[in-house]
A = this chain, B = another copy of it.
Amino acid sequence: MTHAFKTLDVLLNPQSIAVVGASSNPLKIGGRPIAYMKKLGYAGQIYPINPKADMVQGLQAYPSLSAIGAPVDLAIVAAAAASVEDILRDGIAAGVKAFVVFSSGFGEYSADGAAIQARLRQMCEAAGALLLGPNCLGAINIRNHVIASFTTAMEDHALIEGGFGFVSQSGALGAYWLDMVFQRGIGVSSWIATGNEAGITVSDAIHHLAHDPDTRVIGCYIEDIKDGPAFRDAALTAIAAGKPVLLIKSGRSQTGAAAAASHTGALAGEDARYQALFDQIGIVRVNSLSDMMSVARLILLQPPASGPNVGVISVSGGAGVMLADELDEAGFAVPPFDAETQARINDALPGFVSANNPLDVTGSVAGDSGIFGRVLDALGNAPDHDSFVLFIGLMVSISKDLSESLVRAFANRGKQVAVVWIGAPAQVVRELEAHGLPVFPDIPEAVHAMKIARQIGAARDKAHRLRGTQWSAPLPAPTTLEARAEVRAQDFIRAQSSLAFPDQVLIQTPDQAAAALTALTPPLAVKLQSPDMLHKSEHGGVKLGLEDADTLKRTVQDMLDIANTGALRLDGILLQEMSPIAQELIVGFKRDAVFGPLLLIGRGGVEVELRPDSAMAYLPLTPDAVLDLLRGLTTAPLFDGYRGGPKGDLSGLAQALADLGNAFAADPTIEEIEINPLALTRDGRFVALDALSLHRAAADPG
């Protein structure tokens, strides 16, 4: 699928920039971009627009965009909301190709503001001009010194060009990000804060960075995505191109979501919808900017590890143990070194140190750069280990020697290396990182970054496979829905999949019950079938374990009475054979208005709320993808012959659910299917013991 993403080149690589509302005061919103760009040496033309001034910050000023009389690629608008519409109209007439609107007072403020914002959007779309904002902090391209932003975050830092790009729906978070990267010495490519997203969305910006040769890692802050398919496509493009997407999505708790709603004016969606998308396409979610920094530091400097085996080298035994603890919890292994490497280490080391992993070289060895260098050289070749972590604490007086040993042994070995150095001198950190060795201030940051980096390696391969997917499109929310009871919901499921149901007979009268008893093997379940009674158990619509004809007839009559009394529409009374249940699943197919139709699989039964265990993914899904979802449940072994229990045919189930899901996705008249429980019987069969479906009229426009 290819979306009509906006091409942001003229925004981030403009040959000329006008600033409407230009100020001579470099600390004002309309003065700061000019001041930044002059200081950094932006190579294109800068045109201050200010009808009250001839010169602004030493540059010739113009009364309006159209008065410039020369081509303008980008116009930055720092003017009162009321004047923005006229400014854009003038700019479009003058051929301006892109606008960055700092001004607030639009959709985020009032209905009137939203109406103006809609007109700005239409105007730019009609003219083929880009629009970033309104109510945004702007955009930055570090390499060519385009600072179309009034952020204060860069005032106290030297800017560093590099491979980290960032996209944010919040200007404030964007500013904090800038402060953090430069404070930590991480290099930046481009930075885009989308504000109200009247034109350019986060999806457009991610798509741009995915193709931007200067960008190698993409950071992202989002609150609410409205263009789900475009977002998925943009992120997949980036990830498949080997550019990890590290993302913060706020509103992950109920509390937070409520706050987000009041903040953005958009109801922040149920977080699980987002998490399912991130998991499916390989977006890496982090929970704070500092966490994002740790991960970026590692993956900007180091290749992904090809496996879980880590060699740990520490100048302190205690710290080595703490590293091993943290690595173990993050899913890494710390296996012994191979015999040859051990021999090399022993050759290099004095007698009182043993060649274990973690390798405690002791402070005295680390202090002898000759010995320590030989030990590090020996380790750098360890064939069984996929990455290394080196722990150093203090040792300030010999830090230069130490860092040279590290660089010689580990820089450019093709294996992932992280350095934890408590109390490292700033100069040494800079030197190590200049040689590609990332330095972390304590153990957890380093190990967490390594853990995330492993996910990233797997995500890239998966994204390549997923890129050809013809995703099922989202539908607008339905206006009316009609329910179908179990026996009618089964029709679609039977037609579209090989899912099994109990042997059953649908009857209309008590007399038919006796005949059914000859066709079915008791004990039987008796279920009232009405679209007006979907939760049957609570209303006397289900009786279990019936064996004899008299009781059965009486039960059927009772249910008919219930239907009569309630004036329920009636499909009949369903009699089903019962099988002893070993385990239960819940399966649901739903439609998300932003991201499209999805499959939900979870463990059922009494514990479902106490210890939830479920997974979601968007359709279509291959049988293998469904099998991965099933096997990803914590309790998956219970369905697979665990400790003598029944072993279900998980592959067959995955095939059936994939078939059903794809048929569901393709039929816009079906809004939802729920199968609950989908039981694993004691004799190892998966059987759908109850189902319902919700339907909309074929012509429902949503």
Contact = CB atoms under 8 A, between A and B. Distances in A.
A144 interface: no
A607 B610 CA distance: 14
Nearest to A168: B318
Contacts of A320: 259, 263
Contacts of A319: 170, 172-173, 176
Contact of A360 (B256, B258, B263): B263
A354 interface: yes
A250 interface: yes
A518 to B, nearest CB: 29
A255 B334 contact: yes
B260 A321 contact: yes
Nearest to A310: B255
Given A250-B325, A322-B288, A606-B642, A422 B156 contact: no
Interface in A388-413: 393-397
A626 interface: no
Given A290-B444, A610-B642, A176 B259 contact: no
Nearest to A608: B643
Contacts of A394: 152-153, 175-176, 179
Interface stretch (A58-66, A73-81, A632-640): A632-640
A306 interface: no
Counting every copy of the chain, the complex holds 2
B610 A611 contact: no
Contact of A153 (B153, B354, B423): B423
Contacts of A315: 172
Contacts of A288: 322, 326, 442-444
A365 to B, nearest CB: 13
A485 to B, nearest CB: 24
Contacts of A290: 441-442, 444
Contacts of A321: 223, 250-251, 256-257, 259-260, 263, 268
Contacts of A479: none
A224 B156 CA distance: 47
Given A223-B321, A638-B606, A328 B172 contact: no
B322 A248 contact: yes
Contacts of A377: none
B606 A356 contact: no
Nearest to A606: B643
Nearest to A155: B396
A396 B606 CA distance: 54
A290 to B, nearest CB: 4
Contacts of A256: 321-322, 324-325, 328
Nearest to A268: B321
A579 interface: no
Given A255-B334, A329-B253, A442 B289 contact: yes
A317 interface: yes
Interface string A276-315: 0000000000011111000000000000000000000001
A327 interface: yes
Contact of A170 (B317, B352, B356): B317
Contacts of A260: 317, 321
Contacts of A358: 259
16 contacts: A172-B316, A172-B317, A172-B318, A173-B316, A176-B422, A176-B423, A253-B324, A253-B329, A260-B317, A260-B321, A263-B320, A264-B317, A287-B322, A607-B638, A610-B642, A611-B611
Given A172-B315, A250-B321, 10 more contacts: A156-B423, A169-B318, A170-B318, A172-B363, A180-B423, A223-B318, A262-B354, A262-B356, A287-B322, A610-B634
